[in-house]
Chains A and B, each alone.
Chain A
Amino acid sequence: MGNAEKIDINVFKAVARAIAHSDDLELMTGHLTQLLVGTLEIKGCSIFALEPESGELELLSSFGLSSAYLNKGPVFSNKSIGAIKKGKPVIIRDLEDMDLLQYPQEAREEGIGAIVSLPIKFYGKNIGALRLYHHEQWEISETDIDSLLVLAEIIGLAMTYTRLLNALKEVKDTVNDVHSIWFNAIGG
């Protein structure tokens, strides 16, 4: 596949709208994975949250990959496409040439030819990963990689925003549960 730029301002507009129009992270990331698969004409896309203690990448959303591949086993950031832990993008242009995968056999059986993995950061800390899977070898352009890094940062902001929104809703629900009689009883 050629390395002409595929991500332009219109893709960013569509992605920004998908983020702005949803307060549900799973729906939002679901739309993002679909948009990226559709516009980049790739096989699949996944978004992971990083569990900081174990280093496990937990699946938030995915599109285009089989459930057999998604259920292959736990994905660890230090074993799977190792450099993601260092916060750098990793581009495996040809799966046949590389030995960076935690589940290489499963990737081949899934029909994956190339993988691009990008860190999702918030304030410089890794909080997840964005992964794009191509059917065949993939000569992705440097400009598209830069664009995807910016996109991953936007996803990091959206993840943090929805987490804060959820916390705020929980506070609101708790406050709503406080009956005025109980409030008066504690001297309010």
Chain B
Amino acid sequence: MAALKILLPYNFRSLDQKALAFANSTFGHLDEVEITLFHAYTPLPEIEADSTSVMGKLKGDLSYLSQKIMQQEAELKAVEEKLLQTGFLQNRLHTIFKPRKRDIAAEIIELVTNDNFNVVIINHKSGKASRFFTGSVFSKVVSALKDTTVCIVS
């Protein structure tokens, strides 16, 4: 088992690229490192069957919506590929692309706890207004985790 098991939540924003660069420069040269890129996407909304016209419209365009989600998964794989090229070993690199069921902080906390990650690299959302409305992911994660190193990129 790797000495450092790192979780890097990735949301395709510029700050995530910065977090990726940090992971690469800090851990890329180490042998006993395992890194997991994690993205929780918004699953397509469930619509009750009685809303026939909406269902009809959505069904018609469902392939477009699904295709967009698949594109994101491919983008995450491309990020993994980038990490491979910079020195991380293939068997030490993983991606998790899953539908989100709750807020992103709760998803991260659950994953770290269940899968025994000992390092989390997370970014500090720079936007004041969006943080005001959605809450701070990093402060929720930091206050909930124990025995975990949390690296914050801002």
A interface residue numbers (CB < 8 A to B) = 6, 8, 10-11, 13-14, 17-18, 24-27, 30-31, 34-35, 37-39, 41, 49-53, 56, 58-61, 63-64, 67, 70-71, 128, 159, 162-163, 166
Cβ of B146 within 8 Å of any chain A Cβ, yes or no, is: no
Cβ of B58 within 8 Å of any chain A Cβ, yes or no, is: yes
| Bound Cα distance A11, B54 (Å) | 6
Within 8 A of A (CB), among B110-154: 127-130, 132-135
Cβ of B91 within 8 Å of any chain A Cβ, yes or no, is: no
Q: Which residue of B lies closest to A18 (CB)?
A: B45
Additional 12 contacts, C-beta under 8 A, given A11-B53, A11-B57, A14-B54? A6-B57, A14-B45, A17-B48, A26-B134, A35-B54, A38-B58, A38-B65, A41-B61, A49-B132, A53-B128, A58-B130, A60-B133
Q: Which residues of A contact B68 (CB under 8 A)?
A: 63-64
Evaluate whether A30 and B42 lie within 8 angstroms (CB atoms) in the complex, with A38-B61, A67-B13, A70-B12 already known: yes
| Chain A nearest Cβ from B78, distance in angstroms | 10
- Across the interface, A163 reaches (CB within 8 A) one of B45, B53, B60, B133, namely B133
What are 11 A-to-B residue pairs whose CB atoms are below 8 Å?
A: A10-B54, A14-B47, A17-B47, A25-B133, A26-B104, A34-B42, A37-B64, A56-B127, A63-B68, A71-B13, A162-B133
Contact A166 B135 (CB under 8 A): yes
- Count of inter-chain pairs, beta carbons less than 8 A: 100
Contact A8 B42 (CB under 8 A): no
Dominant secondary structure of chain B at its interface with chain A: helix
Q: Which residues of A contact B102 (CB under 8 A)?
A: 24, 27
Contact A60 B130 (CB under 8 A): yes
Contact A41 B129 (CB under 8 A): no
Contact B129 A51 (CB under 8 A): yes
| Bound Cα distance A8, B56 (Å) | 13
Contact B14 A34 (CB under 8 A): no
| Bound Cα distance A77, B114 (Å) | 42
Q: How many residues of B contact A (CB 8 A)?
A: 34
Contact A37 B45 (CB under 8 A): no
Q: Which residues of B contact A34 (CB under 8 A)?
A: 42, 44-45, 65
Q: Which residues of A contact B52 (CB under 8 A)?
A: 10
Contact A27 B42 (CB under 8 A): yes
Q: Indicate the member of A30, A52, A67, A128 with the most B CB atoms within 10 Å.
A: A67
Q: Which residues of B contact A35 (CB under 8 A)?
A: 45, 54, 58
CB-based closest 8 A-B pairs: A30-B42, A58-B127, A67-B12, A49-B129, A51-B129, A31-B45, A58-B130, A38-B58
Within 8 A of A (CB), among B52-109: 52-54, 57-58, 60-62, 64-65, 68, 75, 100, 102-104
- Across the interface, B134 reaches (CB within 8 A) one of A17, A25, A31, A53, namely A25
Cβ of B26 within 8 Å of any chain A Cβ, yes or no, is: no
Q: Which residue of B lies closest to A39 (CB)?
A: B57
Q: Which residues of B contact A50 (CB under 8 A)?
A: 129
Contact B45 A51 (CB under 8 A): no
Q: Which residues of B contact A8 (CB under 8 A)?
A: 53
Q: Which residue of B lies closest to A61 (CB)?
A: B42
Q: Which residue of A lies closest to B100 (CB)?
A: A27
